[in-house]
Chain A
Amino acid sequence: MGDKKDVWQGTLALMVLRTLETMGPLHGYGLARRIEQTSGDLLQLNYGTLYPALLKLEQEGAIRSHWGVSENNRKAKFYELTKAGHREVKKAAAEWEQTTAILDRFLNPAHEA
């Protein structure tokens, strides 16, 4: 297991949480499309990686799932944030902002002046 994948998985989890927070319950495909749209189609998700990430979040208690019916009448599994999930988004978002802020200082030292 390389470090890159871990980082990627970490950010994917945050994207998932954040998207569910703003959009409410979504099914896997809708979630994947939404993430791509939000990224301005800069990200191309390998959809297959999304499901283990969702499962991990569910096992950790941040999201829960239930079967429902999609907008075009197909059976689909919907994911939504739990209470713990809401807390988790805030925490993770704050941490991530801090990390990027620190990195930013290294990448753009001019800011400091």
Chain B
Amino acid sequence: MRSLRTFWLRLRGLFVSGSDFDAELESHVALHADAGIRAGLTPEEARRQALIRLGGAEQTRQAHRERRTLPWLESLVRDFAYGLRTLGKHRVVTAIAILSIGLGIGANATIFSMVSRFVLRPAPVGDPSSLLTLKTVHDGDECCNDFPLPVFKDVRDQTKSFSGVAAYDELITASIGGNGEPERVWGQAVSANFFDVLELPMVVGRGFASGEENAQQIVIGAGLWQRRFDSDPAIAGKTVMLSGRLFTIIGVAPASFHSVDQILNAEFWVPLGNAAQMMPDPANSTSRHMHWLAVVARLKPGVTRPQALAELKTLAARLAIAYPDTDKGNGFVIELAGLLSQSDSKRMGLFLAALGIVVLLVLSIAGANVANLLFAQAAGRQRDMAVRLALGATRGRLQRQMLIESLLLGLGGGALGVLLSLWSTRALSTLHLPAPVPLDLTISVDWRVLLYSFVLSVVCGILFGVAPAWAASRPLLANALKGEDALARPGRRITMRNLLVVAQIAMSVVLLCITGLFLRSLESASGIDIGFRSQNLLIMSVDPRLHSYTPERTAAFLTQLRQRAASLPGVASAAITDYAPLSMGGRSDGFSVVGGPDGDNSPSTDLYMASPGFLETMGIPRIAGNDFSNETATEQKVGIVNQAFVDRILKGKNPIGVLVNGGGVNYRIIGVVGNIKSRSLGEETRSVIYRAMVQNVGSDPSFLGYTLVVHTAGDPAGVAEAVRRQIHALDPAMAIFNEQTMEEHVQAAFFLPRLAATLFGTFGFIGLVLASVGLYGVMSYAVSRRTREIGIRMALGAQPGTVERLVLRQGMVLTSIALVLGWPAAWMLSKLASSFLYGIQPHDAFTFAIVPPLLVMIALAACWIPARRAASVDPMQALRTE
């Protein structure tokens, strides 16, 4: 405390003049002189004695000043000011260095903001360190499942490790009132203690209280509050229509909270008792079979995670005995809430690791550039340094000065990098995954990113400044003072600068190979045949279930909508499905032939609903059989399968009329159509069955609503308004969502290859530019150093062409060494990228064949300008100037 006070006072002392002390000193001398005069001295002699006893007024002032202020800080500030002036004098060098480091740190900060967002950020709840996610796991399964309702109750009532256990249905949909047209929103149904277990305070109002399990009450998210209720501060107690039922709004959740897992973007919460009305299959909700609840638990203070896990293990054993049919072999796992589950984090980790390596390469290349620039600058300042050394400055002082300059460059680059990452994270946040559920994937520059960038810039500044500083502080004095090159040590062929440039080019080889792979991957992805038309299609979704429609009314509504849309001008055809392909997921089941051998039990066949005309509207070619026509809900269910279904499940037999079973339902196959990419572009072709819509709307309703697909003659966006009007003519309250052209939808499916190609392409390009600038710099410097030698050579009869080749050869030697080092490294590292590539091998021959010659060409270009300059050296001029 006291030393802090002293430090503060001394820091303030820096800005206070010493005039007060001058007065005190004067008064001291006067008092002392008075005493002397009283003792009989002359006034002059008395004053002289007083000053002698003081030990010199100036020395005393100096000692006092050093005590009053912070001398080390002052000299540091002086060094910084001098450093800033020096950098200001060499504007071009400074700008290039800051730009280089800025690009490098910007890239790193961008990637790190992803790490921070998806790996490091704790859940936005009270004390994230004691909030756990509970999952059930079956023996032999790799990972885990949600909870059946009764099992959740067992855990809640029979464990002592937790102060609270809450359950929630991760995603339910509802249409909500408020401002404007009704909107379909996503939310969660939660147990009444949910917000208490999370320790999440509300912005307005309160969370649910115990005993409100079935209350028609709703907590809304801050986004929804803003969007549909104008951030009304007195919203608590007001009512809102939620899927046709009246709910009382009791609270608003904080803006930072979307869901415990931080990925799903839920916008409202209702008590679990309301879930039945909002979920697709309420009948099973109380069975021990149906795993549908996510569970979080708050550890009691003092209880450790292993203790809690041990208690859950004994509970699982008890349950296995009590309910052998359902619970045998079941166990529990716990994870810290809010972090990615293990399986997700593995894949995410791999992606981020690959990106991390790439951006570190970019930064290293940038740093090597800066080090090279500093070397060149040190060469230009050797005389200055030599003079200062000769005048008695220590090497340490000069090194400190140089290091402060590179530190300033690092910090400047860091600041630029943070600015760049502010922009890039915003750009990345606007991309959205083509998933049918709402995901919150926004990334931003948070304090962790700032800290990381700061540390990185300091490390860069010091790391890349150390070698040049060391070299610059040891010039050969005699040479330097004579005006000759004093940094080049005689007889040394491998210079630090050459090593740097070799490292740089080697890193660019790695970078270019990885970039090439991802560009090739994007190219190959865009060549993928998705199996349906993407031009001239408009899609638009509705969910009549959210408006309390009965299945019959839903079917009637959808049929009418199809007819109305089809008769619009400019529309060729219209059809209904449950959701469009390439939505990253959807319904799937295992299928087998009825009466035949067991098919595959894994849910590998994707299920779509289709109205008559759907396949034709989508442009999916019919191979055999018929389309749907006028099936009814009561007769035998029929389906149309794709070629992959025939190949895999029917083993190529004639499929027409065959009865197949999936998910406990039988379908008679009436047609065969071509394959499509069903979930994602990168997938192995999946087997698909299209089911007649009217036969399934009642028995197996879609959880994701229904999608109208409109095939237009012209621009599909042009008819959107007319289609919307038709929907609202049928039901003015109907919420419309996912409205887009099929082209936009398919574009979104390119998300991953495009994201990867964009990121790697950008970083690869930056790295390549930086590396060629580095090579150019080194070659230019080499030429300027050898001007005299070249002059002599030419005076002795060397031709300009020979000189040019001399320089080019030097550049090529460096490049070749770098290629020999970098190519195998790239070959090994490319395996890392393999799981993110579409349709090409990680050891893609084209990429690995094209990179070396490409790099050689760029290197040649970078060397060519200095080589020309060398060739145009005028011997007379060169010999005279030195």
Contacts and interface: CB of A to CB of B under 8 A. Distances in A.
Interface core residue of A51, A74, A75 (most chain B CB under 10 Å): A51
Interface in A36-77: 46-49, 51-52, 55-56, 59-61, 70, 72, 74-77
A47 B27 contact: no
Contact of B55 (A33, A49, A70, A72): A49
A74 B27 contact: yes
B61 to A, nearest CB: 9
Interface in A1-50: 27-30, 33, 46-49
B59 A48 contact: yes
Contact of A60 (B5, B23, B27): B5
B879 interface: no
A29 to B, nearest CB: 4
A59 B31 contact: no
Given A52-B63, A75-B27, A59 B55 contact: no
A47 to B, nearest CB: 5
A82 B9 CA distance: 17
B30 A74 contact: yes
Contacts of A47: 28, 32, 53-55, 60
B63 A29 contact: no
Nearest to A29: B31
A48 B56 contact: yes
Contacts of B54: 46-48
A74 B27 CA distance: 7
B55 A48 contact: yes
Contacts of B35: 29, 33
A81 B359 CA distance: 61
Interface string B1-44: 01001100110000000000101110110111011000000000
A76 B27 contact: yes
A60 B64 contact: no
B395 interface: no
Contacts of B10: 59
B384 interface: no
Interface residues of B, number: 27
A51 B27 contact: no
Contact of B24 (A30, A46, A77): A77
B24 A28 contact: yes
Contacts of B66: 52
B30 A60 contact: no
A60 B53 contact: no
B388 interface: no
Contacts of B64: 51-52, 55
B28 to A, nearest CB: 5
Interface string A74-86: 1111000000000
B68 interface: yes
A60 B2 contact: yes
A27 B31 contact: yes
A33 B2 CA distance: 29
Nearest to B30: A74
Given A48-B63, A49-B63, A72 B34 contact: yes
Contacts of B32: 29, 47
Given A30-B31, A55-B64, A77-B27, A60 B6 contact: yes
Contacts of A74: 27, 30-31, 34
A56 B63 CA distance: 11
A59 B9 contact: yes
A87 to B, nearest CB: 12
B67 interface: yes
B16 to A, nearest CB: 12
A92 to B, nearest CB: 14
Given A30-B31, A59-B10, A51 B21 contact: yes
B60 to A, nearest CB: 4
Contacts of B2: 60-61
Contacts of A48: 54-56, 59-60, 63
A3 B836 CA distance: 66
A80 to B, nearest CB: 15
Contacts of A46: 53-55
A55 B12 CA distance: 14
A27 B25 CA distance: 11
Contacts of A29: 27-28, 31-32, 35
A92 B531 CA distance: 90
Contacts of B30: 74
A47 B60 CA distance: 9
Contacts of A49: 55, 63
Interface in B213-272: none
Interface in B736-782: none
A61 B4 CA distance: 12
Interface string B40-83: 00000000000001111001100110111000000000000000
A16 B56 CA distance: 21
B17 to A, nearest CB: 15
Interface string B118-129: 000000000000
A27 B68 contact: no
A46 B60 CA distance: 10
A59 B5 contact: yes
B55 to A, nearest CB: 4
B60 A51 contact: yes
B270 to A, nearest CB: 61
Contacts of A55: 64, 67-68
Contacts of B9: 59
Interface core residue of B10, B31, B67 (most chain A CB under 10 Å): B31
B21 to A, nearest CB: 7
A59 B5 CA distance: 7
Nearest to A76: B27
Contact of A27 (B27, B34, B56, B60): B27
A41 B23 CA distance: 28
B168 to A, nearest CB: 57
B229 to A, nearest CB: 56
Contacts of B25: 51
Interface in B774-833: none
B759 to A, nearest CB: 54
B37 to A, nearest CB: 10
Interface core residue of A33, A48, A70, A74 (most chain B CB under 10 Å): A48
B748 to A, nearest CB: 65
Contact of A51 (B5, B23, B31, B63): B63
A68 to B, nearest CB: 10
Nearest to A75: B27
Contacts of B24: 28, 51, 76-77
A94 B505 CA distance: 70
A91 to B, nearest CB: 13
Nearest to B60: A48
Interface of B: 2, 5-6, 9-10, 21, 23-25, 27-28, 30-32, 34-35, 53-56, 59-60, 63-64, 66-68
Interface of A: 27-30, 33, 46-49, 51-52, 55-56, 59-61, 70, 72, 74-77
14 contacts: A27-B27, A27-B31, A29-B27, A29-B31, A33-B35, A46-B54, A47-B32, A47-B54, A51-B25, A52-B64, A55-B68, A59-B10, A76-B24, A77-B24
Given A27-B28, A52-B67, A74-B27, 20 more contacts: A28-B24, A28-B28, A29-B35, A33-B35, A46-B54, A46-B55, A47-B53, A47-B55, A48-B54, A48-B59, A51-B60, A51-B63, A52-B66, A55-B67, A56-B6, A60-B5, A60-B6, A72-B31, A76-B27, A77-B24
- The 9 tightest CB contacts between A and B, nearest first, are A48-B55, A48-B60, A52-B67, A29-B31, A59-B6, A46-B55, A76-B27, A77-B24, A59-B9
